[in-house]
C-alpha cells in the first residue's frame, strides 16, 4: 500500500465536495485526508486528497474523478511536490513539564498561540512526518485536544493543474 496525493480542480459551486467524497465511498476507496479551498480564480476550488492503495486504486480514482462533471482536472502529485499540513495542538501545562514542552516547540519551530495556567496551545506546519513526530513527542505531557488540516500540496517549479 502506497500513499498518494491527488490534486483536483473543481467548479466552485455547492455540492461539489459531496460529489467527490461520495464517489470515494461508493467505489469503496478510503480517504486519509481531504482539504478544500478556493483557488486564485473564484470559479474553481482545489481539493487535495491523500489516500493509500495500490496502482489499481490510484488509476481508478483518477479516472472516476475525471468522469464527474464538476471536475475540471485531476492529477496524482508525484515526488516533486511541496506538501504541508497545519497542526494546532493543546497540551497540559504544568510547572514540571513546561520547560520540556517549550524546548520541543523551539526545536520543531512551532509557535505558541495560546497560553493559560493549565494549558499550552501551539501551531506547527510541515510535512506529515514532522507533524506526526511532534505529536508523538507531546503525547507524554498530555494532549488535551488537537486538530490537523490534512495535506495541501503544489508541484515544484512552474508545473500546475491547468484550468481551461
Partner 1 sequence: MKISGAKIFVETLIEQGCDVIFGYPGGQVINLFDELYLNQDRIKHVLTAHEQGASHAADGYARATGKVGVVLATSGPGATNLVTGIATAYLDSIPMVAITGNVPCSLIGRDSFQEVDIVGVTMPITKHNFIVKKVEDLADTIRLAFKIAKSGRPGPVLIDIPKDVQKSVCEFENKPVEEPYPMTKASQKLLEEASKLIAKSKKPYIYCGGGIIAGNASEEVQKLADKIDSPIGCSMMGISAIPTDNERFLGMQGMHGHYASSIAENEADLIIACGARFSDRATGDKSKFAKNAKIIHIDVDNAELQKNIPVYLGINGDIKDALARLIELVQEKKNPKWTERVNQLKKEEKDMTVNPDSNALTPFNIIDIINKNITEDTIITTDVGQHQMWAAQRCTFSKPRKFISSGGLGTMGFGMGASIGANFATGNKVVLYTGDGSFGMNLNELATAVTNNTPMVIVIMNNGVLGMVRQWQTLFFDKHYSNTTLERKTDFVKLAEAFGAKGYRVFTTDELEEVFPKAFAENAPVVIDCAVDCNEFVLPMLPPGGSIDDIITQVGGDF
Write out the residues near partner 1 by the rule CB under 8 A.
Answer: 15, 18-19, 22-23, 26, 56, 59-60, 63-64, 66-70
- Judged by beta carbon, residue 23 or residue 31, the one nearer partner 1 is 23
Residue 138 burial (CB count, 10 A)? 26
Smallest gap from Cβ 10 to partner 1, in A, equals 13
Residue (32 or 70) nearer to partner 1, CB: 70
Nearer to partner 1, 16 or 89 (CB): 16
C-alpha cell at 11: 467548479
Asked whether the beta carbons of 8 and 65 are under 8 A apart, the reply is: yes
Q: Least CB distance from residue 3 to partner 1, whole Å? A: 21
The residue (of 36 and 71) whose beta carbon lies closer to partner 1 is 71
Quote the cell numbers at residue 46.
Answer: 482545489
Q: How far apart are CA 125 and CA 81, in angstroms?
A: 16
Q: How far is the CB of 75 from partner 1 (least distance, A)?
A: 15
Is there a contact between 110 and 131 (Cβ–Cβ < 8 Å)? no
For partner 1, the closer CB: 19 or 130: 19
Nearest to 91 by CA among 133, 116, 120: 120
State in angstroms the smallest separation of the CB of 22 from partner 1.
Answer: 6
Residue 65 CA to residue 116 CA, distance in Å, equals: 46
Q: How far apart are CA 45 and CA 12, in angstroms?
A: 5
Cα–Cα distance measured from residue 164 to residue 147, given in angstroms and rounded to the nearest whole number: 35
Q: How far is the CB of 64 from partner 1 (least distance, A)?
A: 5
According to DSSP, the residues that pair with 77 across neighbouring strands are 5
Amino acid at each position: 500500500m502506497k500513499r498518494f496525493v491527488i490534486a483536483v480542480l473543481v467548479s466552485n459551486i455547492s455540492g461539489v465536495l459531496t460529489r467527490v467524497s461520495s464517489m470515494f465511498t461508493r467505489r469503496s476507496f478510503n480517504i486519509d485526508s481531504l482539504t478544500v479551498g478556493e483557488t486564485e480564480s473564484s470559479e474553481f476550488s482545489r481539493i487535495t486528497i491523500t489516500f493509500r492503495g495500490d496502482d489499481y486504486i490510484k488509476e481508478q480514482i483518477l479516472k472516476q474523478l475525471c468522469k464527474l462533471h464538476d471536475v475540471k482536472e485531476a492529477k496524482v502529485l508525484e515526488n516533486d511536490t511541496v506538501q504541508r499540513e497545519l497542526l494546532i495542538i493543546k497540551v497540559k501545562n504544568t510547572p514540571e513539564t513546561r520547560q520540556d514542552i517549550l524546548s520541543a516547540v523551539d526545536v520543531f519551530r512551532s509557535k505558541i498561540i495560546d497560553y493559560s495556567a493549565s494549558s499550552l496551545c501551539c501551531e506547527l506546519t510541515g510535512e506529515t512526518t514532522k507533524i506526526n513526530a511532534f505529536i508523538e513527542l507531546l503525547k507524554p505531557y498530555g494532549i488535551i485536544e488537537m486538530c490537523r488540516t490534512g495535506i495541501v500540496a503544489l508541484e515544484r517549479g512552474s508545473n500546475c493543474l491547468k484550468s481551461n
